[in-house]
Amino acid sequence: MAGLLALAVGGCSASSAGGSRPAASGSASTLTSSSGSARPSDGATPTPTPTCAGQPAGARALNLSTSDGAAFAGLELGTGPKGVLLVPEAGRSGMCGWMSYATELAAKGLHVMLIGMPGSATGSGSADASAPGFGDTGVQAVVSALGRLRSDGATAVVAVGASAGASTALAAAESTADEVESGASAVVALSADELGDLPSKASTIHVPTLMAVADGDRYISADDERKLFDALATPAVIKTLDVLPASSGHGWDLLADQGFKDKVTTFITAQLATGYTVWGAGPRTVVLSNQSDESQAAWQAYADHLVAEGYRVAMWDYGIGDPAAALGDVVKALRAQQDGPIFLLGASKGAKVSLIAATSITPPVTAVVTLSAESGMASGVDVASYVKRLTCPALVLTAEKDGWGSADAAKTFQAVLPNLVRTLIYPGADHGTALLYGANGPKSIADIDAFLKAH
């Protein structure tokens, strides 16, 4: 499965030629401060409460810090599970340069956070010239802000930034590439520059990404942006690079074009539409449900494969309620977005949850695929009793020496519903997602591909 293993956003800082950049044009607000009692993060030195001219009355000031204790400011607008993190350009406007767009996004019901950069984040002027954007401290700030936004209720977050902030956020996406539940769910990168060694690391980034640059941008060439774009491991169907007219400007100035701004906003809202992680835009959807000791991250490589095969893929994590009911809610949300066949595919616990949920989802799902489904849930539920009620085909995969009893369970499922259940037993003892990523991976993936295409 190694072959399967395959976000992000910005601000202007000193050019590679050494000249300082002017502040962004337009009506960007100016950052000011006032006394206040915003809650500082643990270990952070309290800083003046940040405010921006024109900020809405409900904006909440934040005093934040990186894991190394570097303090930086933030503002939070709105609440809820649909998060947007806005990373600034360099220059005197700071995070306030995002205020107008942040207000628009919050008015659409999104949970928006604007952040400034720690004082030690100085872009390519930092000690490590290979560090992209605002440097390692800036990357830590983005990672910390993502964590804070999620702790404040966001279950999915699109990172949006401009110029050096774009490359900083891309670098943050690279550093959290295996952390779906804590990293960015998607990225918008406007004129990402100060790239440092980012192009050599971009092959670990594979979340949905929208990049843009103006033709003739004097800080970053469209060719260099294309090279970075091509280096991303994000499947081609969920990444976009727009090269805009030369008059479009740089960084957040690209949003002055209403048509392009509408495209960015549509991208953001589409990524956040369900509150779950959704990759791809195909007409057929596969919903992946985790085994009990794993999270969404375990599916990333296989999700990339499915997206490349033309599927829309949804990943989710269990909460405290009934997982089968929660899976039903995911399917309902996905159907509200688009019509088309929906397949449930789960590993171990997720396999059992998929079988149980398939008996109550209406209209029925197209088919179910299970990896190492055992015969019972921890709550004592007999899974076979639900298999009897299936009205759709099911492909049951297991290993002959599975240590959790799924080989015997597969035979039971086949016996209770022989006309709809097909069982495939592989050599060895791989369990759950190990059937995809172990020695049986090439064969099991080919078998699943064939089953999905047949339905």
CATH number at residue 371: 3.40.50.1820
Domain span holding position 61: 2-271
**How many CB atoms neighbour CB 242 within 10 A?**
16
Determine the pLDDT at residue 131.
66
Lowest-pLDDT choice from 221-225, 268-272, 328-332: 268-272
Q: What totals of helices (H) and strands (E) does the chain contain, helices first?
A: 13, 17
Task: Identify whether residues 334 and 388 lie together within a single domain.
Answer: yes
Shared domain for 301 and 260, answered yes or no, is no
Give the pLDDT mean for 37-54: 53
Average pLDDT (418-428) is: 96
Q: Kindly state whether residues 334 and 187 are assigned to the same domain.
A: no
Same domain, 282 and 264: no
Does 174 have pLDDT greater than 50? Answer: yes
**Rounded Cα–Cα distance for residues 397 and 373 (Å):** 8
For the chain, how big is the Rg over CA atoms in Å? 23
| Same domain, residue pair 99 and 31 | yes
Per-residue pLDDT, averaged over 238-247, amounts to 93
**Mean pLDDT of all residues in 17-24:** 36
Task: For residues 267 and 282, state if they share a domain.
Answer: no
State which of 218, 242, 271 marks the end of a domain. Answer: 271
Residue after which a domain boundary falls, among 271, 297, 322 = 271
Residues 281 and 262 in one domain: no
Share of the chain above pLDDT 70, in %: 84
Q: Assess whether 290 and 264 both reside in one domain.
A: no
pLDDT, position 41? 41
Residue 79: predicted pLDDT? 93
Domain count, the chain: 2
Q: Are residues 387 and 257 in the same domain?
A: no
> Whole-number mean pLDDT of the chain?
84
Domain boundary among 271, 287, 318: 271
pLDDT bracket for residue 177 (50, 70, 90):
low
Residues 248 and 234 in one domain: yes
Answer left, alpha or beta for residue 76, where phi above 0 means left and psi between -120 and 50 means alpha: beta
Q: What is the DSSP letter of 382?
A: B
Three-state SS for 406-422 is HHHHHHHHHHHCCCCEE
My answer on whether 126 and 258 are in the same domain is yes
Enter the pTM of the model: 0.65
How many angstroms separate the CA atoms of 140 and 350, rounded? Answer: 33
Query: Which of 250, 280, 204 minimizes the C-alpha distance to 25?
Result: 250
CA pair distance 148, 61, nearest whole angstrom: 13
Same structural domain, 85 and 174: yes
Q: What is the spatial distance between Cα 59 and Cα 52, in angstroms, rounded to a whole number?
A: 10
